Amino acid sequence: MNLTLPTPTKSKQFLADADRKAFDLEHRRKIRFNIGKYNAAVQTGLGFYEDHELARARASYLKAQVINNLDQYLLQWEENFTARGGKVIWAQNAEEALFEIGKIMQRRKARTVVKAKSMTTEEIHLNKYLEKNGIESVETDLGEFIVQLNGERPYHIVTPAMHLSKLDIADIFVKHLGIEYTDDAQKLVLTARHLLRDKYTAAEVGITGGNFLIADTGAIAVTENEGNARLSAAFPKTHIAIVGIEKMIPRLQDLDLFWPLLSTSGTGQQVTVYNTIYTGPRQPLEKDGPEEMFVVLLDNGRTNLLAQPDKREALHCIRCGACLNVCPVYKNIGGHTYEATYSGPIGSVITPHLSGMAENKHLSFASSLCGACSSVCPVKINIHNLLLKNRQQSVQEGHSDKEEQRAITVWLHGMKRRWVWDLAPASAKNWVLSRLLGQTGWSKRREAVQIAPKSFKQLWKARK
């Protein structure tokens, strides 16, 4: 007898996880507390702008200019970067990126890698690949380090451990590091710092992401608050940066616009603590830096969006996380429920294009379409409209559930033949309506919708 249970679809699993998380009161308490602190800081940060809307408009214009001419800017960036000895790897997908990174690891005989916070490395599942090949990959960002210890994915684009309280982190450190229990935040941070210091000097390779690619100088800009990216790039002899092709900006001077927008929207800071520009490996007269530097330019589905003019503005995203912090859906179901590298509103827009519409179309329906995400986006992406376009595309491509298709067919049939509804008694209408709404789970935690005994047409006739 085969006792193997059928694997639920990603859509059904999402609904089950969302239902569970939405009614987890302790989870909601932690998220309200942590996001509340961010929102308060962001409001303070916005006060430093004389005209924040003008800054958003300028950033939106520059990103549109770059994305609409991305091929030219990428070639310009490559030419300038390689002129200083940097090496560029063009990766069409995650498999190509991992294969090329693996070759570098083999040549360097790497046993340990120190890794700064990077969503692109999460996207290609780099840690799993390195572990499979016997290479220790150590997350050096504190939040990433915590979730790595706990065997979890990052919960949030900017704050990987947002779902954990100080007491949760203390329990994780006791369990995985064997330290004496303490809820002193400074002691917990020092524990991680002492552990990571030796890793920087022992690692053969350091890996970072990149917040911006700068076309006119062939450089990568990395912004951070802890300094771990600088250490990951400076100590090892080899530095690998994995960056999505959409992270391009035209000129070095444009950072004076994008760095404050990124930090203010993400954390409320005027500018983050550490902002570094990497232009390649160590030059002959330079004392610091890696002997060699590689940049992996990652496509991995981004050109799918680029090929759709009505949706390509999603590539303007600078990964500030602001849309997650205001989203009522994200605040209720949490980041892990999405089962995707990029969660929240912008993740729901791009994931179906990066990882397949059929498997991920449900994410675009996980939105109230309130527009809060669009209102806070520092580059003015019309996120809620893109979610609607994704929904439209998923239906046009035939990805709707069979039950949903049948329900819509019944509804359409009735709307086109009003006389059928007029003939049917209210009890019959209620039965049909319960079947239709039952497909969406409407009545699970709501009172069933009841049709009035008499239709508007009947009431109007009676009034006459």
Cα–Cα distance between 339 and 13 in angstroms, integer?
A: 9
Cα–Cα distance between 223 and 278 in angstroms, integer?
A: 11
Residues 316 and 248 in one domain: no
In a domain, 215, yes or no: yes
In a domain, 144, yes or no: yes
Residues 119 and 175 in one domain: yes
Whether the model clears a pTM of 0.95, i.e. scores above it, the answer is no
In a domain, 3, yes or no: no
Cα–Cα distance between 163 and 324 in angstroms, integer?
A: 13
Q: At what angle do helices 185-202 and 142-149 cross, to 10 degrees?
A: 90
Residue 14 is predicted with a pLDDT of 94
Domain boundary among 263, 280, 300: 300
Residues 333 and 213 in one domain: no
What is the DSSP secondary-structure string of 133-156? TT-EEEE-SHHHHHHHHTT---SS
- Amino acid symbol at 378: P
Residues 378 and 283 in one domain: no
In a domain, 442, yes or no: yes
Cα–Cα distance between 264 and 308 in angstroms, integer?
A: 30
Residues 367 and 438 in one domain: no
Q: At what angle do helices 185-202 and 166-177 cross, to 10 degrees?
A: 50
Residues 118 and 187 in one domain: yes
Residues 296 and 388 in one domain: no
Cα–Cα distance between 179 and 75 in angstroms, integer?
A: 50
Residues 275 and 319 in one domain: no
Residues 278 and 387 in one domain: no
Cα–Cα distance between 58 and 317 in angstroms, integer?
A: 14
In a domain, 4, yes or no: no
Q: Are strands 212-214 and 136-139 parallel, antiparallel or unpaired?
A: unpaired
Q: What is the CATH number of the domain that holds 242?
A: 3.40.50.10420
Note down pLDDT in tens along the chain; length 464 residues: 334 434 468 888 999 999 999 999 999 999 999 999 999 999 999 999 999 999 999 999 999 999 999 999 999 999 999 999 999 999 999 999 999 999 999 999 999 999 999 999 999 999 999 999 999 999 999 999 999 999 999 999 999 999 999 999 999 999 999 999 998 989 999 999 999 999 999 999 999 999 999 999 999 999 999 999 999 999 999 999 999 999 999 999 999 999 999 999 999 999 999 999 999 999 998 888 899 999 999 999 999 999 999 999 999 999 999 999 999 999 999 999 999 999 999 999 999 999 999 999 999 999 999 999 999 999 999 999 999 999 999 999 988 877 778 777 877 887 788 777 777 787 877 877 776 666 566 777 777 778 888 878 888 888 87
Residues 229 and 331 in one domain: no
Residue 3 is predicted with a pLDDT of 40
Over the range 352-383, which residues count as b (16 or more CB within 10 Å of their CB) and which as e? bbbbebeebbbbbebbeeeebbbebbbbbbbb
Tell me how many domains the chain contains: 3
The residue range of the domain holding 310 is 10-40+304-396
Which is nearest to 383 in space by CA: 317, 303, 449, 306?
A: 317
Domain boundary among 267, 283, 300: 300
Residues 424 and 385 in one domain: no
Element (H, E) at 220: strand 219-224
Domain boundary among 232, 266, 300: 300
Residues 168 and 234 in one domain: yes
Residue 451 is predicted with a pLDDT of 80
Q: What is the CATH number of the domain that holds 34?
A: 1.10.1060
In a domain, 233, yes or no: yes
In a domain, 212, yes or no: yes
